[in-house]
């Protein structure tokens, strides 16, 4: 039996979010970069007009990639904090 899709993505993204929190517990939502995959430009959450972020959206965006069918990069996500693990 193969498991794919959300059933497998959710625990992986939750793990990436946990690693990120462990590496940088003092960072808040405003410290994370929102990556716009249409323009490929990053912007700070504090600069966004729409500040509402649901828990699921935040976790997916913290993973580094949240495009459907994309891949998460735990090492890249933690490394982007600028802190040493």
- The 10s digit of each residue's pLDDT in 11-20 is 877 887 788 7
CA distances from 7 to 4, 15, 18, 26, 52 (A): 6, 14, 18, 30, 25
What average pLDDT does range 45-66 have in this prediction? 53
Stronger pLDDT, 37 or 59, i.e. the higher one: 59
Model confidence pLDDT, tens digit, residues 29-40: 656 555 544 444
pLDDT at residue 56 above 80? no
What is d(CA 52, CA 29) in angstroms, rounded to the nearest whole number? 11
pLDDT class for 83, splitting at 50, 70, 90? low
| Res 3 pLDDT > 50 | yes
């Amino acid at each position: 039996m193969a498991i794919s899709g959300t059933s497998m993505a959710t625990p992986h993204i939750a793990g990436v979010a946990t690693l990120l929190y462990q590496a940088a517990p003092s960072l808040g939502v405003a410290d994370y970069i929102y990556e716009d995959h249409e323009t490929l430009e990053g912007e700070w959450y504090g600069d966004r007009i729409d500040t509402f972020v649901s828990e699921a959206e935040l976790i997916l965006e913290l993973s580094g990639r949240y495009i459907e069918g994309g891949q998460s990069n735990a090492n890249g996500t933690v490394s982007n904090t600028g802190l040493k693990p």
